[in-house]
């Protein structure tokens, strides 16, 4: 057995990790940083998960030269400019910036991570002079967490201390910013996880992949996939402690909580809804249905209006192309059955109950296809006027 304790602050708590942020002139509000770093004094095993967007941004192309599993100890992060669709020049800019990192820190294989507008080259000079202002021995996780935000309304950082049965312990912390979260060219999801657990090379990538699949890959604000999405897990092993099962659970819990924070912070979003599809022919079919539900405009606007119109749910499942049968389908809002072939018409009593469920901050829509054992849960949010406003008025 092991025990997980939540701590305040984020990456600052992790032994051997340092972080800081400054404003180097990319962001008009000079009170908020726009250039940040995370580094470890020891070399780390690093695992990465990047966007599936074919137009992945220059920082991802640059980092991929080390592969998705590599040894390194430094990541530089900027906001307000995605360095995407900048071709080879974008990569050359990164090389030049990183060549200006200070000596004496034993930096190895440094990478960069960017979020912001697509299609503009990085303001190199500003960033290079910003490097002079960073304190490379600081533990300013709060500054870091704020500096990487774009359209987010609150910072997202977590830290867990994990105590193992043998008395040893390790710390794991993460910082993230908004995701698929709608603001157009700024819809990037970034997450950096630092741990002093001694995660071996053979485990680190599969652990990260699995945790990302069960968290960030299950949420959708608007169905769009950014050019810059990045999740990095850095393990410096300084605690000497490691237990695969404990680490896996702690990492999954941390990324899932961050994913829910991101969804809650989706622009204009008021509700977080779990779309649980069970009884599908296969997990793959359940996933198709759940993801379609979380992305459907008709479903998302019904959530905003708290309209218990289950016809939109059924129609979306039917349109998704998976096997389904109206005689076998059952739809529940939380524990309330809202459709089955025995209850074909919604009476006013059940409609009223459904309306109340839908007014909650979060609830579950459960669709039992009654055909097999396939299951998947996707998480989505409602679509409000605010979403349209934010996205229509951005830049104009």
Catalytic residue numbers? 188
Interface region with its own copies, contact rule CB under 8 A, candidates 27-35, 47-55, 96-104, 271-279: 47-55
Residues 6+ apart with CB under 8 A from 253: 4, 160
How many Å apart are CA 25 and CA 363, to the nearest integer? 42
How many Å apart are CA 130 and CA 116, to the nearest integer? 17
How many Å apart are CA 9 and CA 16, to the nearest integer? 15
Is residue 75 exposed (0-12), middle (13-18) or buried (19+ Cβ within 10 Å)? buried
Q: Tokens for 249, please give them.
A: 């659970």
Applying CB under 8 A, the site for its own copies has a residue count of 69
Q: Nearest distance from residue 227's CB to its own copies, in Å?
A: 5
Q: Nearest distance from residue 351's CB to its own copies, in Å?
A: 9
* Of 93, 69, 95, nearest in space to 83 by CA: 93
- 168 vs 391 by CB, closer to its own copies: 391
312 forms part of the interface with its own copies (CB under 8 A): yes
Binding mask 344-363 for its own copies (x = CB under 8 A): xxx--------x--------
How many Å apart are CA 71 and CA 67, to the nearest integer? 10
67 forms part of the interface with its own copies (CB under 8 A): no
The bridge status of strand 374-381 relative to strand 230-235 is unpaired
Q: Nearest distance from residue 266's CB to its own copies, in Å?
A: 11
86 forms part of the interface with its own copies (CB under 8 A): yes
111 forms part of the interface with its own copies (CB under 8 A): no
Q: Nearest distance from residue 302's CB to its own copies, in Å?
A: 6
How many Å apart are CA 195 and CA 44, to the nearest integer? 9
- 232 vs 293 by CB, closer to its own copies: 293
Q: How far is C-alpha 233 from the geometric centre of its chain's CA atoms? A: 13
- 252 vs 305 by CB, closer to its own copies: 305
Residues 6+ apart with CB under 8 A from 77: 35, 36, 37, 38, 112, 113, 114, 115, 144, 147, 148, 190, 192
Q: Nearest distance from residue 322's CB to its own copies, in Å?
A: 7
- 101 vs 314 by CB, closer to its own copies: 314
52 forms part of the interface with its own copies (CB under 8 A): yes
79 forms part of the interface with its own copies (CB under 8 A): no
336 forms part of the interface with its own copies (CB under 8 A): no
Q: Computed from CA positions of residues 72, 256, 12, 114, in that sequence, does the dihedral angle turn out positive or negative? A: positive
How many Å apart are CA 382 and CA 26, to the nearest integer? 32
Among 202, 245, 349, 393, binds its own copies (CB under 8 A): 393
- Name the E strands within the chain: 3-7, 17-22, 35-50, 69-78, 111-114, 156-163, 169-177, 190-195, 230-235, 272-280, 330-333, 336-339, 362-368, 374-381
Interface region with its own copies, contact rule CB under 8 A, candidates 68-76, 83-91, 200-208, 279-287: 83-91
Among 6, 30, 87, 132, binds its own copies (CB under 8 A): 87
Q: Nearest distance from residue 18's CB to its own copies, in Å?
A: 33
Among 324, 365, 378, 381, binds its own copies (CB under 8 A): 324
How many Å apart are CA 214 and CA 141, to the nearest integer? 25
Among 2, 25, 41, 120, binds its own copies (CB under 8 A): 120
Residue keyed to tokens 């304190």: 135
Among 7, 69, 105, 306, binds its own copies (CB under 8 A): 306
227 forms part of the interface with its own copies (CB under 8 A): yes
Among 81, 115, 151, 226, binds its own copies (CB under 8 A): 226
Among 30, 100, 341, 362, binds its own copies (CB under 8 A): 341
Please give the residue ranges that form the binding site for its own copies (CB under 8 A): 52-56, 82, 84-87, 89, 117-121, 182, 184-185, 187, 222-227, 296-298, 301-302, 304-307, 309-312, 314-319, 321-324, 326-327, 339, 341, 344-346, 355, 383-385, 387-389, 391-396
């Amino acid at each position: 057995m092991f025990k997980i304790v939540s701590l305040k602050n984020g990456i600052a708590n992790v032994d051997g990790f340092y972080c800081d942020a400054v404003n180097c002139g990319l962001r008009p509000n000079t009170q908020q940083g726009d250039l940040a770093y995370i580094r470890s004094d020891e070399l780390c095993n690093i695992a990465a998960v990047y966007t599936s967007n074919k137009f992945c941004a220059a920082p991802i192309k640059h980092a991929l030269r080390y592969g998705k599993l590599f040894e390194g100890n430094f990541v530089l992060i900027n906001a307000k400019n995605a360095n995407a669709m900048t071709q080879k020049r974008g990569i050359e800019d990164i090389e030049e910036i990183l060549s200006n990192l200070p000596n004496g820190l034993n930096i190895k294989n440094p990478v960069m991570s960017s979020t912001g507008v697509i299609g503009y080259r990085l303001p190199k000079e500003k960033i290079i002079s910003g490097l002079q202002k960073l304190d490379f021995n600081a533990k300013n996780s709060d500054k870091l967490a704020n500096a990487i935000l774009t359209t987010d309304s609150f910072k997202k950082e977590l830290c867990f201390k994990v105590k193992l049965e043998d008395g040893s312990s390790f710390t794991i912390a993460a910082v993230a910013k908004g995701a698929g979260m709608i603001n157009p060219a700024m819809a990037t999801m970034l997450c950096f996880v630092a741990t002093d657990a001694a995660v071996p090379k053979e485990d680190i990538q599969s652990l990260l992949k699995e945790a990302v699949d069960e968290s960030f890959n299950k949420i959708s604000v608007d169905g769009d996939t950014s050019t810059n999405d990045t999740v990095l897990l850095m393990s410096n092993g300084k605690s000497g402690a490691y237990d695969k099962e404990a680490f896996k659970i702690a990492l999954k819990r941390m990324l899932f909580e961050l994913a829910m924070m991101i969804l809650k912070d989706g622009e204009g979003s008021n509700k977080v809804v779990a779309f649980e599809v069970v009884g599908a022919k296969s997990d793959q079919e359940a996933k198709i249905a759940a993801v379609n539900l979380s992305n459907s405009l008709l479903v998302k606007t019904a959530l905003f209006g708290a309209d218990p119109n289950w016809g939109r749910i059924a129609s979306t499942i039917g349109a998704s192309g998976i096997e389904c049968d109206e005689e076998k389908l059952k739809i529940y809002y939380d524990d309330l059955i809202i459709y089955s072939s025995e209850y074909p018409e919604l009476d006013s009593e059940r409609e009223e109950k459904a309306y109340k469920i839908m007014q909650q901050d979060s609830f579950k829509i459960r669709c039992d296809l009654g055909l097999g054992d396939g299951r998947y849960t996707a998480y989505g949010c409602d679509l409000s006027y605010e979403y349209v406003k934010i996205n229509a008025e951005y830049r104009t």
